[in-house]
């Protein structure tokens, strides 16, 4: 976990603290109840994770393009997935599949001891790493790899979050989940996706549907094949 006081990056106009505050109020109104998650999202400057040309939309509750056919998730989805993963408890070691621009990674880094994040697109991870350094998020470990294979040498993980949708829940991720442990991930195709909560406890795995979502495809050995 990092000290949130180190993450204050002032903005102006549409990236100001006041604009961020309006987003947090919107998230509360949309049903996000975990104030710890909201505090982290208020401190992490979303505008530095996207292209400067899109800066005026940084604190709108929308997904935005980040290149290579990928997007930064809308703030509500980031907050909701993090809230479900936390369930009011302190996060320890978290595995994230799909680093993207690094925004979800940064939120997690503000809330847990260590984040392990995997991204298959090298230029995206290179950019995310520069942003992590800028924010002094030194508790994030990252690598370029097939995320559907997880990160077995650092398993097990108390929590796993997947930020792209595959046709099924990847078995390697279930295997790398600690007991007890929780995983949040979208499952489905372009016709429809559902955010799923996977719990492992006492050797038993249970799966619960949370809500409908829309994500980019999870590409890899245990996901969709690359185009």
The set of catalytic residues is: 73
Could you tell me if 100 and 91 are in contact, meaning their C-beta atoms sit under 8 angstroms apart?
no
Secondary structure of 151-214 as H, E, C letters? CHHHCCEEEEEECCEECCCCHHHHHCEEEEEEEEEEEEECCEEEEEEEEEECCEEEEEEEEEEC
Closest CA to 210 of 177, 180, 184: 184
Nearest in space to 17 (alpha carbons), one of 28, 29, 7: 7
Cα dihedral 106, 108, 110, 116 sign: negative
């Amino acid at each position: 976990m990092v000290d949130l006081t180190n993450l204050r990056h002032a903005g102006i106009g549409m990236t100001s603290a006041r604009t961020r505050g309006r987003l947090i109020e919107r998230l509360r109104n949309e049903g996000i109840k975990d104030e710890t998650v909201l505090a982290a999202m208020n401190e992490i400057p979303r505008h530095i994770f996207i292209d400067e040309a899109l800066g005026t939309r940084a604190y709108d509750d929308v997904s935005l393009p980040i290149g290579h056919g990928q997007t930064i998730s809308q703030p509500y989805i980031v907050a909701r997935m993090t809230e479900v993963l936390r369930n009011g408890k302190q996060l320890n070691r978290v595995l994230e599949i799909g680093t993207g621009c690094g925004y979800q990674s940064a939120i997690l880094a503000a809330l847990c001891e260590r984040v392990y994040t995997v991204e298959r697109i090298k230029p995206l991870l290179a950019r995310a790493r520069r942003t992590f350094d800028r924010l002094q998020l030194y508790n994030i470990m990252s690598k370029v790899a097939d995320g559907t294979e997880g990160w077995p040498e650092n398993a097990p993980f108390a929590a796993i979050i997947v930020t792209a949708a595959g046709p099924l829940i990847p078995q390697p991720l279930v295997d790398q989940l600690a007991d007890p442990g929780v995983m949040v991930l979208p499952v489905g195709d372009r016709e429809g996706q559902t955010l799923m909560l996977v719990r492992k406890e006492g050797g038993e795995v249970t799966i619960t549907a949370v809500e409908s979502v829309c994500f980019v495809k999870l590409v890899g050995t245990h996901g969709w094949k690359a185009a």
